[in-house]
Amino acid sequence: EAPHTKGTRHRRIGIMGGTFDPIHHGHLVAASEVQYRFGLDEVIFVPTGEQPYKQDRDVSPAENRYLMTVIATASNSRFSVSRVDIDRPGLTFTIDTLRDLREIYPDDEFFFITGADVLPQILEWKDSDELWELAHFVGVNRPGHSLVTDGLPLDDVTVLEVPAMSISSTDVRRRENAGIPIWYLVPDGVVQYIRKYGLYSPSRFPLVSQP
Ligand code: ATP
Ligand code: MG
């Protein structure tokens, strides 16, 4: 053990990156299950800034997505929300997320949580060969996607079965836009927040306009 870490316990920190437009119970169940199964001290939700793979659609302003994430996680003492991605100018790349969090938490162990749809994309991410030094990756099942780890480094990736939630943000946005109920797909406070600012209505009045 290095002298400067003597007596300190390395915390185990989960990191759940996402657009969270909006955050829904699929995200929350996955984070909660990984927290429990991996004995994590904390799970940090990190809403993205602009994303390289989502530039083709109108994403809600970061401040709205951040606040929905805060509302959804507020009641869980092990959940927190980080602004590192939304405060960093430019596109969000996970390597930058992990480097920024590593500076804040130099001695802690990181577990980056992703759904089965994201897992096969990781090898194409910026500086993907360096991701594994910064975090262990945990892939969770997601309805409609098979949980495959082909090509991923075996030692750095674990797959975990979580209660399957057939919910996506895309579906929540479509439902709200069409006047179909979204109750119970997202936390009540998030439904109310979406309605308050008309986030996915045909006419939108977001809290903060996009920079
Ligand atoms: P969108 O439809 O806008 O892409 P989404 O529902 O996929 O939204 P994201 O914010 O893109 O949500 O996802 C953030 C992370 O959460 C990703 O790693 C994704 O795989 C995971 N995730 C999202 N929904 C689920 C779910 N229902 N079950 C398990 N993992 C999920
Ligand atoms: Mg997605």
Say what the pLDDT of residue 206 is.
45
Give the confidence band of 205 by pLDDT, cuts at 50, 70, 90.
very low
Better-predicted residue by pLDDT, 29 or 4: 29
9-37: average pLDDT: 97
Q: Is residue 209 part of a domain?
A: no
Q: Is residue 172 part of a domain?
A: no
Distance 4 CA to ligand 2 centre (A): 40
Is 30 near ligand 1, meaning CB less than 6 Å away? yes
Distance 4 CA to ligand 1 centre (A): 38
Q: What is the CATH number of the domain that holds 162?
A: 3.40.50.620
> Is the bond preceding 143 in cis, omega lying within 30 degrees of 0?
no
Ligand nearest to the CA of 175: 1
C-alpha to C-alpha distances, 85 to 97, 100, 193, nearest whole angstrom: 6, 9, 22
Q: Is residue 192 part of a domain?
A: no
**Is the Cβ–Cβ distance between 112 and 98 less than 8 Å?**
yes
Q: Is residue 59 part of a domain?
A: yes
Is 25 near ligand 1, meaning CB less than 6 Å away? no
> Is the bond preceding 3 in cis, omega lying within 30 degrees of 0?
no
Split into its structural domains, the chain has a count of 1
Q: Is residue 67 part of a domain?
A: yes
Say what the pLDDT of residue 55 is.
67
CB atoms within 10 A of CB 63: 17
Say what the pLDDT of residue 203 is.
58
Specify the residue with its C-alpha closest to ligand 1, atom 14. Answer: 18
Say what the pLDDT of residue 56 is.
67
Q: Is the pLDDT assigned to residue 179 strictly greater than 50?
A: yes
Is 43 near ligand 1, meaning CB less than 6 Å away? no
Q: Is residue 122 part of a domain?
A: yes
Range of the domain at 155: 10-167
Q: Is residue 42 part of a domain?
A: yes
pLDDT, tens only, 103-152 = 999 999 999 999 999 999 999 999 999 999 999 999 999 999 999 999 99
Is 26 near ligand 1, meaning CB less than 6 Å away? yes
pTM of the model: 0.92
Q: Is residue 198 part of a domain?
A: no
